[in-house]
Chain A
Amino acid sequence: MPLLDIRNLSVSIPTTEGDVHAVRAVSLEIERGEIHGVIGESGCGKTMTGMAALGLAPKGARIVADRFHFDGEDLREHAVRLRGRRIGMIAQDPAAALNPVLSIATQMDDVIRAHRDLPHRARRAEAIDLLASTGLSDPERVLRGYPHQLSGGMQQRVVIAQALATGADFLIADEPTTALDVSVGAQVLALLRKLVTERGLTVLMITHDMDVIAEACDRATVLYAGRSVETGPVDAVLQSPGHPYTRALLAALPDAAPLGARLAAIEGSIPPPRSAIAGCAFATRCPQALHECAVTPPPERSRAVHRWLCHLPEDAA
């Protein structure tokens, strides 16, 4: 049984101009001990999926799913209880995720105190241990400081240490490297990998960056316009992508273009989040679209555990 089991999740937010379909049909199966990448462009619903799993979807949002379970418990009822106990969050911008007016010591201590009944001295020792385990070289000095005195990479390590302090075994990391320098981002990814191995964590990695998927993830799910369109082991998804959207994403990577040539881009834009979509959401931008693509929902194609949704026959991939 997967640790996180989502089938056909939709999240819609009612507004005066009609419902915004932030997530339309996302299915995700995340196994224990893996780093599962969720990739897609802005507005594809990747962050909202994570927020819904944390019970942090905006007020009034309608969450519908065939299955929306974490370790056998229904997230629609238990998300608030599970969050901060078993499910942790690593936010996109660590500078914004830390309270600017509280010392790191206070912020670490608050988290430890919220979850365990320990005397002050033991809490402090625990905070030092946790900070050290995220690779901070002088945890005592970090504890004395404030967020604005730390570099972005150090801030992100503190945020990760806080998530560990909750005792969570499942972390939702929302673009954890986007706000960081490339080299620091790579260090944070390596740290997450290490923590997954050493502590048996499971990570849902939300990203728009194929390099992050390639570098850090075991499996990946591709989201387009609020739908999961392809999922499978990272090697399979990157080397023999099934869905035309995934292929287009890979072709748009700078590495894929010959030196000096124009970079490939995907023509058109994503369907507006308020509109209804009859067939395949990518049909209007797909270079290989058949005429049924715009009308009927695409069937599932698969190659072992690698699955995608497309009208094109499997050998067209």
Chain B
Amino acid sequence: MELLRYILRRTFLSAFVLVGVTFLVFVVAQVVPSDPAALYAGPRPTAEQIEKARQELNLDAPLPARFATFAGAMASADFGISYKSRRLIAEDLRAYLPATLELAIFSTGLALLIGIPLGVIAAARQGGWADRFCSFGSIAAVAMPTFFLAMILQLIFAQWLGILPLSGRLSREIAISAPLPMVTGFNLIDALIAGRLNAFGDALTHLILPALTLASYPAGVAMRLTRSAMIEILERRHIVAARALGLSEPRILFGHALPNAMGPALTVIGLSFAYALTGAVLVEIIFAWPGLGRYVSEAILAKDFPVIAAVTMVVTICYVVMNLLIDITQALVDPRVALS
């Protein structure tokens, strides 16, 4: 009951955030010193062409009316067309967003699965060789620049060992001669829907290197946060009590201490998920991953405002949903969260 009320309250707050971001995006578009009509009219426009574009874009209408139009369009996922390419933005997003989400979700999962258990083990063996190894590894993982790590991984796994593909989302044979029918845009899911296990395996092997590269930073941070939280929790009286009750060490570590220690790591991993949505430009370029990061950075350089607005809105929604999921997870793990 408390949990349900908590979820409703968080959802309501999230909706509020979305409205706020819509407003901000609109306001920023007004203050940016560039003339959308000039961009829209194409290269070297005449004054009449600009005037025509101005009317077409409805730029002369009063601000509140234009905000209403903008907000209505965003709410109905009608993102308009790109000033630059004149393509429908919604159609571009349908291609780029699933690719980015697939990578971001997969790498976030990897960060969780690598960072948290290693943090638990390091805390349990505090001062031992496993702890030193994990602590050194986490510093390396956090400090290493992504582009460098990406190239090292490519060198080892694609060039020398040849067990993982160098780049791309799918092998050429599959992408060109037998493309997957696009249902969700997530290759892993689409391959399963089509019942093609070899395509699933192919998509998975393409995911591993870019996902590992992206996971390195959050996994390193999550490991350190989990380790320090665990060391503090393991001193608590209820852990001493659990030992005195004869519980096994793995059960104490993962069943009793970890749920108390997971909060900070979950928060950081949620933030890094948001970062992976648009901040992974370098990784996307190195691994030729057709994602949002590249799409939006090109739009920013071209001052292609409708694209920037659309990506901002979509990323905000993903981020808000992710945060909501993390808040709910934390409330499920620790029932006192819902009370505060």
Q: How many residues of B contact A (CB 8 A)?
A: 22
Cβ B244 vs Cβ A102 within 8 A: no
CB proximity of B136 to chain A, nearest CB, Å: 24
Considering the chains assembled together, what is the distance between the CA atoms of A96 and B237 in angstroms? 6
Residue in B237, B245, B256 whose CB lies within 8 Å of A102: B256
For B335, what are the chain A residues with a Cβ–Cβ distance below 8 Å?
A: 101, 146, 148
Which stretch of A7-15, A85-93, A278-286 is in the interface?
A85-93
Q: How many residues of A contact B (CB 8 A)?
A: 28
CB proximity of A123 to chain B, nearest CB, Å: 14
Known: A101-B335, A101-B336, A110-B251. A56 touches B243 (CB 8 A): yes
Cβ B256 vs Cβ A166 within 8 A: no
Cβ A162 vs Cβ B237 within 8 A: no
CB proximity of B132 to chain A, nearest CB, Å: 19
Q: How many residue-residue contacts, CB under 8 A, span A and B? A: 76
For B241, what are the chain A residues with a Cβ–Cβ distance below 8 Å?
A: 89, 91, 97-98, 159, 162
A83 interface residue, CB < 8 Å from B?
yes
B59 interface residue, CB < 8 Å from A?
no
Considering the chains assembled together, what is the distance between the CA atoms of A54 and B245 in angstroms? 10
Task: Tell me the B206-229 residues at the A interface (CB within 8 Å).
Answer: none
Cβ A83 vs Cβ B256 within 8 A: no
Residue in A56, A96, A115 whose CB lies within 8 Å of B236: A96
Task: Tell me the A62-105 residues at the B interface (CB within 8 Å).
Answer: 83-85, 88-89, 91, 93, 96-102
CB proximity of A35 to chain B, nearest CB, Å: 19
B240 interface residue, CB < 8 Å from A?
yes
Cβ B238 vs Cβ A56 within 8 A: no
CB proximity of B251 to chain A, nearest CB, Å: 6
Cβ A114 vs Cβ B245 within 8 A: yes
Residue in B237, B336, B339 whose CB lies within 8 Å of A97: B237
Cβ B246 vs Cβ A83 within 8 A: yes
Considering the chains assembled together, what is the distance between the CA atoms of A97 and B236 in angstroms? 8
Residue in A91, A96, A101, A114 whose CB lies within 8 Å of B260: A101
Q: Mark B112-127, 1 if CB is under 8 A from A, else 0.
A: 0000000000000000
B259 interface residue, CB < 8 Å from A?
yes
4 extra interchain contacts, Cβ-Cβ under 8 A, other than A56-B244, A91-B240, A114-B248?
A: A83-B244, A99-B259, A114-B245, A162-B241
> Can you list 8 contacts pairing A with B, beta carbon distance less than 8 Å?
A84-B243, A89-B241, A96-B237, A96-B238, A98-B238, A100-B260, A100-B336, A166-B245
Chain A residues with CB under 8 Å of chain B are 54, 56, 83-85, 88-89, 91, 93, 96-102, 106, 110-111, 114-115, 146, 148, 159, 162-163, 165-166
